[in-house]
Amino acid sequence: MKKYNPCLQAVIFEVVDNQMTAGEPPETKETFERLREGGFSEKDAKKLIGQAICVEIYCIGKNKEEFNKERYKQNLRNLPREPEE
């Protein structure tokens, strides 16, 4: 069973909101709108986008990689399929 961390979710949702407000990358807002039009709730759409963000955070922390904007955008395009490293 996955553990739920409301503080972490709030931070990830803030990142999603900040990206959409700033329009950077534009794919975040485009993905959010696509998911909403596809029937996902606002919260679920943000959770899905948050998965793509978490892949980047993981790769930065665990693998000492730079933020990979192309992988991030590809993972956004593939949603709702689970993101890949």
Residue 83 has pLDDT above 80, yes or no: yes
Would you call 55 helix, strand, or coil by DSSP?
Answer: helix
Segment 25-71, tens digit of pLDDT? 999 999 999 999 999 999 999 999 999 999 999 999 998 889 999 99
Please, are residues 85 and 59 in contact by the beta-carbon 8 Å criterion?
A: yes
Q: Where are the domains of the chain?
A: 25-36+43-85
Which of the four pLDDT bands, split at 50, 70 and 90, describes residue 2?
low
Burial environment of residue 76 by CB neighbours within 10 A (0 to 12, 13 to 18, 19 or more): buried
